[in-house]
Amino acid sequence: MRGGAIAYRAAMNKPLRLGIAGLGTVGMGLLQLLAEHGGRLAEHVGREIEVVAVSARSRTKMRVLAMGNARWFDDAERLAVDPSIDVFVELIGGDNGIAKRAVEAALGAGKHVVTANKALLAKHGSALARRAETAGVALNFEAAVAGGIPVIKTLREALAGNQIRRVCGILNGTCNYILTKMQEEHRSFSDILREAQEKGYAEADPTFDIGGFDTAHKLTLLTSLAFGTHVAFEEVHIEGIESITQADIEAAHDLGYRIKLLGVALMTESGIEQRVHPAMVRKHSAIAEVSGVTNCVAIDGDFCGTLLLAGAGAGAKATASAVASDILDLARGGTSPPPFGISAANLETYKRAKLGQHQGAYYVRLSVFDRPGAMASIAGRMGEREVSLESIVQRRPRGAQPGIDARPRPGLPTSVILITHETTEQAIRGALEAIHGDGQVSEKPQMIRIEPL
C-alpha cells in the first residue's frame, strides 16, 4: 500500500503529457486555452499540463498557434501509443477509420483517452468503454454532447442518485439558428440555410445537421448515461427540419408555440423512446426561449425534479472548454468513473418502446382541395382511427387581405390546420396516410408533435 502511495505521489509530481490528434477548430481552441490558462490550471490541479505531441492531416497548413516543442506525428495511431504521452486527445472525428483505430490503440496501450467524437461513441461507445475499463484507464467525452454545457458529468456523477425519467433538449445549433431566424425574420428555410452556410454555422453539405443525425448521435450518449443501457444509435427515430416551412412557423406562433428540433429520450412501460424530430413547444416555456446557436438539455429525475442546462453548444472555445475539463479531471488523479456511469459489463441491453405507441397531441397542416365533401372525408378518416380534433382552422397567407385573399377558390387547395387531442402516433400517421391516398390534398400532410415541456 505504501509503495503504491509513493508511486502515486511521484506520478502527480510530473507533468500530465498530452498527445493531441486533430488540429481543426476544436484542436486549435484547446491549444489556445492551454496557452492562455496553463499556469492557472497547473495551480488548480497541482501539476503542469504539457502538449508533447500532435498529429493532423496536413503538416504545412498554417496554424494560429505555434506547436512549440511538441513532436509531430503524421500517423495518429503511432501518436496514440507513443511512450511520451499519458493522455491521447482525439479530435479527428468520424465513426470509423483512423479515429477509431487510434482510440483503440491508445486504450490498448494503457493511455487515457479524451474525445469529442460523438459519432464514434454513438456507434462503438459500449465496446470502447469495455476496453477502457479492462485497461484501467479513462474514456472521457464531455465535449461530445452540447459543447460547453457539462451535461455528461451532470448525468454520470451529479445525478447518480436519481432515477432519470426523461432527457430532452436542443442539441444542434445549426438547426436552432435556422428555426430561430425563420421565426424572427419570416424568411424561407432555404434562404436561412444559405445564410448559415455563409456564416460558417452550417457545412457545405448540411445533411448531417438538418437531417437530425448529429442530434441523434448526441441523444444516443445521453440515453445510455440516463438509463444505463448500451448505446443504440440504430434505434433512434430520426426526422430533420427540411420539411418545416414558413407556413408552419407562422401557424405555430399564432397558436402559441415555437418549433424546435428536439432530441427526446424517455423511459416508458414498454421500453425506451429515442426520437429526434421537430416539435412545437409553448412559446413561453424555458426551452422555447433558447434561440440562435445555443443548445439546452432538460433532465427529469425522481429526486432532483427538472433541471435545464443551457449554453454554447459548439464552436472552438465552448468545445475546447469541455475537452479541458476532462483533461483536468485526469490531471487531478484519483479514480475515474466508468465512461457511462456504471461498468460496461452491467449496461443493460437497449429495449425499444413499442413502435407507434407514443401518445401526445399533434399539429397537422393540410393543403385541401376546395371542393364538396373534402373536409367530411378528412374528418371521416380521422374518426376511423379515433383521432379526436381539438381545433380546425383555415389559414390564409401572411399579409393576405381579409375578405379578398381568403375567398374560396373552387377546386384549388387551401391551407387547413388541425390540432388533435392526445392520440397515438400510429393512429395519426395511419389517418394522414389514408387522407393523402384519398386525393383530397395537394401535397403530403405535414405533422409536428406537440411536446408538453
Task: Determine the Cα–Cα distance for residues 311 and 313; give it in Å rounded to an integer.
Answer: 6
Query: What's the full length of the chain, in residues?
Result: 453
Annotated catalytic, 61?
no
DSSP string, 135-189: HT--EE-GGGSSTTS-HHHIIIIITTTS-EEEEEEE--HHHHHHHHHHHHH---H
Phi then psi for 322, rounded to 5 degrees? Answer: -70, -40
Contacts of 375 (CB under 8 A, 6+ apart): 368, 392, 416
The three three-digit cell numbers of residue 106, written as one number: 491508445
Selecting among 111, 181, 218, 260, the annotated active-site residue is 218
**Local structure of 286: helix, strand or coil:** coil
387 SS3 class: coil
Q: What are the φ and ψ backbone dihedral angles of 251, each rounded to 5 degrees?
A: -65, -40
- Cβ count near 3 (within 10 Å): 7
Q: CB neighbours of 442 closer than 8 A, spacing ≥ 6? A: 367, 368, 369, 413
What are the residue numbers of the active site? Answer: 218
